[in-house]
Amino acid sequence: MTEQELIEKLQKIERLFSGAATAGERDAASNALDRVRERLKGFAEVEEATEFKFSLPDQWNRKLFVALLRRYGIEPYRRQRQRYTTVMARTPKSFVESTLWPEYLELSHVLEDYISDITENVIKNHIYENTAEASVTEESFQLGG
13 within some domain:
yes
Predicted confidence (pLDDT) at residue 21 exceeds the cutoff of 70: no
Contacts of 100 (CB under 8 A, 6+ apart): 68, 69, 72, 91
For the segment 94-108, the average pLDDT, to the nearest whole number, is 93
Task: Give dist(CA 75, CA 73) in Å, integer.
Answer: 6
Percent of the chain with pLDDT over 90: 52
141 within some domain:
no
Confidence of residue 4 (pLDDT cuts 50, 70, 90): confident
For the segment 6-23, the average pLDDT, to the nearest whole number, is 69
Q: Which of 41, 15, 13 is nearest to 26 (CA)?
A: 15
57 or 34, which is more confident? 57
The number of folded domains in the chain is 1
116 within some domain:
yes
Q: 12 with 28: CB under 8 angstroms?
A: no
Please tell me the total number of residues recorded for the chain in this structure.
145
pLDDT at 2: 72
pLDDT at 47: 83
97 within some domain:
yes
Most confident of 8-12, 92-96, 135-139: 92-96
Instruction: Write out the residue range of the structural domain in which residue 53 sits.
Output: 3-126
37 within some domain:
yes
Confidence of residue 46 (pLDDT cuts 50, 70, 90): confident
pLDDT digits (tens, 9 = 90+) for 48-59: 889 999 999 999
139 within some domain:
no
CB atoms within 10 A of CB 79: 8
pLDDT at 24: 61
142 within some domain:
no
116's enclosing H/E stretch is helix 101-126
Task: Give dist(CA 68, CA 12) in Å, integer.
Answer: 15
134 within some domain:
no
Predicted confidence (pLDDT) at residue 35 exceeds the cutoff of 80: no
Q: 71 with 33: CB under 8 angstroms?
A: yes
pLDDT at 75: 96
